[in-house]
Amino acid sequence: MPNVRTQVGIVGAGPAGLVLSHLLYLRGIDSVVLENRSRQYVEERVRAGVLEQGTVDLLAEMGVGERMKKEGLVHYGIELRFLGRGHPIDFRELTGGKGITIYAQAEVLKDLNDARIATGGQVFFEVEDVSVHDFNTVQPKISYRKDGHAYELACDFIAGCDGFHGTCRPSIPHGVLTEYERVYPFGWLGILAEAPPSSEELVYCYHDHGFALLSMRTPQIGRLYLQCKPDEDIAEWSDDRIWHELQVRLASTGWKLAEGPVLQKGVTGMRSFLVDPMQYGRLFLAGDSAHIVPPTGAKGLNLAVADVQVLARGFDKFYKTGDHTLLDRYSQICLRRIWKVQRFSWWMTSMLHRFPDGTPFDQRRQIAELDYVTSSRAAATSLAENYIGLPMEWD
């Protein structure tokens, strides 16, 4: 059964928890990951798909990039579509050769789980009643239940990688964290479809009926999204209705959207959220447990990976030298970049969605913004450098 002691106890086996656990392993630091869902559930959950160059490079350096390099689709641009016309944004040209890779979050998690298991990593799925204790002392603990038995894991540090609805953030005493939040008056209805992508590049589309996005997973499988009500009832959306709406919004002269059987569909609400600081005592929050971005711009998974890169370096420095200054500065280093990514995700969302209370002025302003971004090299460069991923500033 599970260890009773480890160096870093990690709650959650999403991208943040698993990347952290493997980075620590590579630095000779012991960790235990506790996840309340099954491995199958975590690996089948349909979520993000766009990896920044920095995320791709890190996964490759960690030795978990082999399948991603083989099966991932490298893209060097996106298309912005409005008033029925497409306008390319060429990342390669605007950023000196950089791009993004389409590779599903579920595949990233499969690769990470395989790597953790192959190297003797301790990842426990289907644990229950996880709770974190004593993190304002030097001997924090995590309690949990597994197969009906109660356990306690003693650690030096706890990493709260348990997502937006997890247990770690709410365990921090009231008044320590300042929360910043904006909830958007719309959501995304997303489908996975057995339909080859009708465009080489991802298409972000502004339309009178609302935003639409054409993305993909493989050369055979499309991933498409429609702006919808935040509480949209998916039962009211037959496959025919979804395809019809996608056809209307994405329509462009001389272009055809290929349809196919819908494999999966769901509705996601949209919010911007973060807490400052992202740490308290020996408890560190990383990924969605500390911040949420609206999905326009595909930053959620990439932010989670960026956080744990900083955290892993902080633990490494501490265990090698006893110096905790990097751990002390964890929130400060991460939040500087997170706020810029929040700004970008908010900006993309605001430019591309129809707001229920939007006036004709707002709509003309949105068109002007799209016209500007697609006709000014300076504006397009700003979009491109944010989309491919901003650098981490360590000072």
Residues at the site binding ligand DHB, with contacts judged by CB under 6 A: 48-50, 202, 213, 215, 223, 295-298
**How many CA atoms does the CB half-sphere of 175 hold within 13 Å?**
0
Residue 110 sits in the site that holds ligand FAD (CB under 6 A):
no
Q: Which of 68, 112, 202, 301 binds ligand FAD (CB under 6 A)?
A: 301
Q: Which of 79, 111, 156, 162 binds ligand FAD (CB under 6 A)?
A: 162
Task: Write down the least CB distance from residue 117 to ligand DHB, Å.
Answer: 27
Task: Write down the least CB distance from residue 56 to ligand DHB, Å.
Answer: 15
Those residues whose C-beta lies under 8 Å from the C-beta of residue 179, and which sit 6 or more positions away, are: 273, 274, 275
Residue 160 sits in the site that holds ligand FAD (CB under 6 A):
no
Q: Point out the catalytic residue in the list 141, 225, 295, 330.
A: 295
Enumerate the H helices of the chain as residue ranges: 15-26, 39-44, 53-61, 66-71, 91-95, 105-118, 168-171, 239-250, 300-321, 325-328, 330-352, 360-375, 377-388
Q: Is 387 a catalytic residue?
A: yes
Three-state DSSP class for residue 332: helix
- Closest by alpha carbon to 118, among 11, 26, 241? 26
Residue 16 sits in the site that holds ligand FAD (CB under 6 A):
yes
Task: Write down the least CB distance from residue 380 to ligand DHB, Å.
Answer: 17
Residue 313 sits in the site that holds ligand FAD (CB under 6 A):
no
- Closest by alpha carbon to 102, among 65, 51, 64, 60? 51
Q: Which of 13, 94, 115, 311 binds ligand FAD (CB under 6 A)?
A: 13
- The 20-59 site mask, x for binding ligand FAD (CB under 6 A), equals --------------xxxx----x----xx-----------
Three-state DSSP class for residue 167: coil
Task: Write down the least CB distance from residue 285 to ligand FAD, Å.
Answer: 9
CA distance 323 to 326: 8
Q: Is 204 a catalytic residue?
A: yes
Q: Is 299 a catalytic residue?
A: yes
Nearer to ligand FAD, 37 or 324 (CB): 37
Q: Point out the catalytic residue in the list 75, 207, 291, 353.
A: 75
Q: Which of 8, 10, 11, 64 binds ligand FAD (CB under 6 A)?
A: 11
Which helix or strand (DSSP H or E) is residue 151 part of? strand 149-154
Nearer to ligand DHB, 292 or 312 (CB): 292
User: Hey, how many other C-beta atoms are within 10 angstroms of the C-beta on 37?
Assistant: 15
Give the residues across from 82 on adjacent strands: 85, 206
Those residues whose C-beta lies under 8 Å from the C-beta of residue 381, and which sit 6 or more positions away, are: 94, 95
Nearer to ligand FAD, 28 or 301 (CB): 301
Give the residues across from 79 on adjacent strands: 88, 203
282, 240 contact by CB (below 8 A)? no
Out of ligand FAD, ligand DHB, none, what residue 22 binds, judged by CB under 5 to 8 A for its kind, is: none
Residue 14 sits in the site that holds ligand FAD (CB under 6 A):
yes
Task: Write down the least CB distance from residue 323 to ligand FAD, Å.
Answer: 27
Those residues whose C-beta lies under 8 Å from the C-beta of residue 330, and which sit 6 or more positions away, are: 278, 279, 284, 310, 311, 314
Task: Write down the least CB distance from residue 301 to ligand DHB, Å.
Answer: 9
Three-state DSSP class for residue 259: coil
Which helix or strand (DSSP H or E) is residue 275 part of? strand 262-276
Which residues are marked as active site?
75, 204, 295, 299, 387
The footprint of ligand FAD (CB under 6 A) covers: 11-17, 34-37, 42, 47-48, 105, 130, 161-163, 166-167, 268, 287-288, 295, 298-301, 304
